[in-house]
Chains A and B, each alone.
Chain A
């Protein structure tokens, strides 16, 4: 861990907030991609019948 001195809380909170937002964005994008793909497969199977 680098020596962040009196600004440790400032730097760590900036990294924490940013990484949390990036991970949430990526997670939601992947989750929605999987859900829509599965739903489309289901609708396509139903309409082909």
Chain B
């Protein structure tokens, strides 16, 4: 079996990712189109939330990916700090704007959904606040990469920032359980009772099935964009190295 560390070689990473990228991209487009059309056109209104329940197909997958993107960046940052593989640092850099956009979608759809349901666009609730802080961490992470000229120093500093920000990524997911207060509801799709098959705890399949298709679409879109953007970061790094060598003569 091939070692995972083979892909730490930039050339090998580009070759392999170019091979899998079309399949991942088309699978992502298929899941998103099917999931969103199914959710938007063919699901009923909720008896309490009316047609706003259709926002779940964007809000939940984007919020899930906002947190998971940070965990992917954390893993890649740890690999960089421990093994000094450039591809992992560049993959973390590539994932940050995707995570930031996912967080922005989660915050925007949450506010739009919250207005008619809670009577307010925003409240300083533990989950909402930790998500806003996570978004600010994404912006800080992107800015730090852009501000530091030396790639290795930038990778070191952003990796430390990523480890610190992970506290808020965890809080974003578990804030409701920790403090048990605020307007945002707790987990309903992945609740323990729901997973065990308790129908009282479970989101009805009418809503859950298209939601799972949308989640798959968002996950695949994230993978496709990370692969594409990591290729770009590898090429940009090589270009900077060549230009620097050229200047030195």
Query: A residues engaging B (CB < 8 A)?
Result: 2-8, 10-11, 13-15, 17-18, 21-22, 24-26, 29-30, 32-33, 36-37, 39-40, 43-44, 46-47
Contacts and interface: CB of A to CB of B under 8 A. Distances in A.
B116 A10 contact: yes
A23 to B, nearest CB: 11
A18 B58 contact: yes
Contacts of B105: 17-18, 21-22
Contacts, number: 93
B236 A36 contact: yes
B239 A22 contact: no
B139 interface: no
B52 to A, nearest CB: 5
Interface string B230-249: 01100110110011011000
Interface stretch (B73-81, B107-115, B130-138, B205-213): B107-115
Interface residues of B, number: 37
Q: Which of A13, A36, A44 has the most CB of B within 10 A?
A: A36
Contact of B116 (A7, A17, A47): A7
Main secondary structure of the interface of B (DSSP, over half): helix
Q: Which of A18, A39, A43, A47 has the most CB of B within 10 A?
A: A18
Contacts of A3: 51
A21 B138 CA distance: 16
A19 B183 CA distance: 26
B109 A14 contact: yes
Given A14-B58, A18-B105, A43-B243, A4 B235 contact: no
A47 B54 CA distance: 54
B179 interface: no
A6 B52 CA distance: 10
B108 A14 contact: yes
